[in-house]
Structure 1
Amino acid sequence: MVGRKVQLIKSIVFCAAVPPRSIHLRVTKETVDEGQNNDVVCSGAGAGPLSVNILLEVEPLVAGRDARFMCEVRGSNPPPSIKWFRNAKQLPLESSMIRHSGNISTSVLVLDIVEADHGTKLTCRAENPLLPAATLEDIYTLDVAYKPNVSLSLGWSLKSPELKEGNDAFFECRVDANPPPYKGLELEHNVREGILVSESTLALQRVNRKQSGAYQCKASNVEGDALSNPVNISIKCEFDEPNSHAIV
């Protein structure tokens, strides 16, 4: 049996020759190399890995900060080869540190977290060098916190920022943030004044010349505050007045 692999299909135990130790196994179902109900002896035993787990040392993940991930592998003999993948793309081996202690192996990976990592799948794969079929892996989906990204634009019905008194003006505020932004507006909903505010839109009904100026929207979450780009509107009237500046 020296130098041969025996795969026990029913018990999902793998055995390979690794001198000088020996292990006795009872075959309970036909194996790849042997017949049924035979006593199998391997000179030395290669087994596992039995489990693979990714652990995050500090939570939550925040854009702009480093994060340390530890992959813990148990029950591999000989010690496993440990590889990291980011969205199925293997990371350089030198980007992690591997330690072996008894039947536990650990690999520590440090990543510089950015917004684009949100939703990324991080994989730790453990391979027994003698038993490729015994490969196990764990997958961790990154949940990255980042401050809002905000943009403001005129509503689809407006072809030009040039308006006449009595027209309606519409603005749409787009926000990308994790976690979602707090709800808070500095320009309140006021039907009587013709100011209609929803979660992401602002409507100014029957505008007048005093409402000319630059408009911005603001969003906040636990990671910070952000202002959008300014959008200017000009209300045509007989007399010009200084522009105002509103934040919604």
Structure 2
Amino acid sequence: MLLPLLSVLWAGSPQEDPGFELRVQESVTVQEGLCVHVPCSFSYPGVGGSNSTPAYGSWYRIKNPKVGVLMATNNPAREAKRKNKFPFHLPGDPGAGNCSLSITDAQRGHGGNYYFHLDRGLMRHTYKSNRLTVHVRALTQTPDIRVKEPLESGCPSHLTCSVPGACDGAMPLTISWTGAALRAPELDLEASNSSEILLIPRPQDHGTNLTCRVTFPRVGVSTQSTITLNVSYAPQNLSIGICQGNCTELKYPGNGSSLPVLEGESLLLVCAADSNPPATLSWAQGSRTLGPSQPWEPGVLELPRVQLGHGSKFTCQAQNPLGSQHVSLRLSVVYPPRLLSPSCSWEGEGLHCSCSSRAQPAPTLRWRLGEGLLEGNHSNASWTITSSSAGPWANSSLSLSGPLGSGLRLSCEARNAHGSQSAAFLLLPGKPELGGGFVLGTVGGAGVAGLLSLCPCLIFFMVKICRKQAPEPAAGGKDAACTLGPLSQFLGLHVDPLCYLPAPITLIGPPSLLPLGVTSPSIRQISP
């Protein structure tokens, strides 16, 4: 391979003898260790004739005005007498007027002025008018590293290293390769000293450097080049990072993990993949494809408020032309207990109460009777508890028998790791003049406040029911005097009594079905 030549100045000289002319550029520059070819032609009287006398050309470097050092010749006799073998050659035929000069493995000492001399038979002529000046500079040329096939993970690829301007057939160069990719077991280490290597790249080789270093032994100079490997590979190391609530850093639960998330909490899912070229990322919930939260960030999925419907498998898929990979995460939506219509009813001579709750994880249910705690599946002569659970549901029933004191508080409580909820029932004394009766009502913090806010409505409701249930007017056409029931005293209501009601609540069973002289038992649930 030849170094591109500098601009050439062809010039004849009027000082030459008639018929003698040499055409060569005035100067040439070459770097240490490299090669250069200088085109040259000449003419002399009789050139092109039938004279069979051989023509010999020689190039001399001017050492001083009177002495020239022979650098190149095609004259075998003079070549044999040369003590110093310089890397200068005459590749052409001087007999045909070709005086071209080739310089291989240029060295600093080769710089200077040169002239051409012709010998043919008895004719000897030195072309001193048109001289060639050779400049030898420091080596700055770097090697070219060429990748013959695109670098794809697992596929063989050939890489070559060469120095532009280095001569073909000159003294062998010393070439060495260095780089992390060369540690691959598939690489033949003996080939690392060759101008061509076979590389089977891996994904981890992408972005690493590969260096080729070339040394010119004759000159003792070196040059090197480094390239960054661009290795294509399918998506790998796919991961999902999560950010719950006001987090400061992502957490990575791993493929196939189950993640508990509190209902109503915000959740950010960030999918990332290692691939080249970059993979296209997409999200799916179950079999349904989801759109990205932000089009410019397809790997980010944001759930501002987690709902029960989000409790399923979320899958992120990464795909590029070389393959695809997916990773999944199952969301388990957790939430505190929710009591569903707890109730009590009279069955025969006993009181039967039921309580159901749903939560995730499933709640535990327990009863409180007065100051006592009742839980699990237990029974004695006075009470029986039966509990069961299935999935997120928990159910419990309480049966009370025997005499019940008035003013007794009964409550059902559901609890899990995320909270609790309870419903309370209050056993109240019944109508005083009937004696022995009682009323059951429920109370709770928020429910009491709600009832207080609804007092006017309750009073109206009580009055209306009272008028329906009051006895016929006494003689004289007036309503019988009556008093407000005991729940008004419990709630702190102060109103003028119009009539008596067992309690401002919904009756369990119509009063007409109850024995006379017994206060109608009734139940009110007040949500906590």
TM-score normalised by length of structure 1: 0.65
Q: Deviations over 1:71-92 (max 9, x none)?
A: 2343273121111111698998
Between the two structures, name the one with larger relative contact order (CA 8 Å, sep ≥ 6): 1
- Does the 8 Å contact 2:244/2:265 carry over to 1? no
Q: Does 1:231 align with 2:329?
A: yes
Q: How many residues align?
A: 202
Q: What's the offset of the Cα at 1:239?
A: 5.9
Distance 2:33 2:262 in 1: 80
Q: Is the 8 A contact 1:158 1:170 kept in 2?
A: no
Cα distance in 1, alignment partners of residues 62 and 245 from structure 2? 77
Structure 2: which amino acid aligns with 1:152?
I
Residues 60-115 of structure 1: CA distance to partner in whole angstroms, max 9, x if unpaired?
A: x11122211122343273121111111698998613474xxxxxxxx220112001
Amino-acid identity (%): 24
Structure 2 CA distance for partners of 1:14 and 1:67, relative to 1, 3 Å:
closer
1:175-203 per-position Cα deviation (integer Å, ceiling 9, x unaligned): 222111135444333xxxxx835422111
Give the structure 2 partner of residue 140 of structure 1.
Answer: 227
- The RMSD of aligned alpha carbons is 3.7
The letter of the residue matching 1:171 is L
* CA 1:208–1:183: 2 relative to 1, 3 Å: closer
Q: Distance between the aligned counterparts of 2:197 and 2:214, measured in 1?
A: 14
Segment of structure 1 superposing worse, 117-126 or 48-57: 48-57
Change beyond 3 A, Cα 1:93–1:169: closer
Give the aligned residue type for 2:226. Answer: I
Counting strand residues as a fraction of each chain, which structure ranks higher?
1
Inter-CA distance 52–75: structure 2 relative to 1 (3 Å threshold)? farther
Residue deviations 1:101-140 (CA, integer Å, cap 9, x gap): xxxxxx220112001111122122221212112x222322
Q: Is the 8 A contact 1:70 1:108 kept in 2?
A: yes
| 2:317 paired with 1:218 | yes
Structure (1 or 2) with the greater helix fraction? 2
* Distance in 1 of aligned mates of 2:230 and 2:62: 46
The 3 A distance-change label for structure 1 pair 219 and 23 is: farther
Classify the secondary structure of the residue corresponding to 1:196: coil
SS of 1:131's partner is coil
Distance in 2 separating the partners of 1:125 and 1:39 = 37
Specify whether residues 87 and 25 from structure 1 end up closer, same or farther in structure 2 by C-alpha distance, changes over 3 A only: farther
Q: Aligned partners of 1:141 and 1:122: how far apart in 2?
A: 6
What letter is aligned with 1:47?
D
Structure whose alpha-carbon radius of gyration is higher: 2
Q: How far 1:14 sits from its partner (Å)? A: 5.2
Q: What is the letter of the counterpart of residue 241 of structure 2?
A: S
Matches within 5 A, 1:38-53: 42-45=84-87, 47=105, 52-53=143-144
Q: Return closer, same or farther for 1:79/1:188 CA change in 2, 3 Å cut-off.
A: same
Is 1:196 paired with 2:286? no
2:266 pairs with one of 168, 175, 178: 168
- Specify the SS of the correspondent of 2:232: strand
Letter in 2 for 1:44: F
The letter for the 2-side match of 1:69 is: L
Q: 2:213 aligns with which of 125, 129, 133?
A: 125
Assess if the C-alpha contact under 8 Å between 1:209 and 1:235 holds in 2.
yes
SS of match in other structure, 2:278: coil
**Which amino acid counterpart does residue 43 of structure 1 have in structure 2?**
K
Q: 1:24 to 1:129 in 2, by over 3 A?
A: farther
* Aligned pair partner of 2:175 in 75, 78, 82: 82
What are structure 1's unaligned runs of at least 5 residues? 1-9, 16-21, 28-34, 99-106, 190-194, 243-248
| 1: CA distance, partners of 2:293 / 2:33 | 68
Q: Distance in 2 between matches of 1:114 and 1:156?
A: 36
Distance in 1 separating the partners of 2:206 and 2:191: 20
- Structure 1 stretches of 4+ moved >4 Å: 22-27, 38-42, 48-51, 87-93, 183-186, 239-242
Give how far 1:235 is off. Answer: 0.8
The residue that corresponds to 1:65 in the other structure is 155
The 3 A distance-change label for structure 1 pair 162 and 173 is same
Alignment gaps of 5+ in structure 2? 1-28, 35-57, 72-83, 88-103, 107-138, 252-258, 336-357, 361-390, 393-528
Tell me the SS of whatever aligns to 1:95: helix
Q: 1:127 to 1:217 in 2, by over 3 A?
A: same
Aligned pair in 2 of structure 1 residues 232, 82: CA closer, same or farther (>3 Å)?
same
Give the match's secondary structure for 1:154.
strand
1:78 maps to amino acid: M
Q: Deviations over 1:224-247 (max 9, x none)?
A: 10112x3232112526779xxxxx
Distance 1:92 1:25 in 2: 47
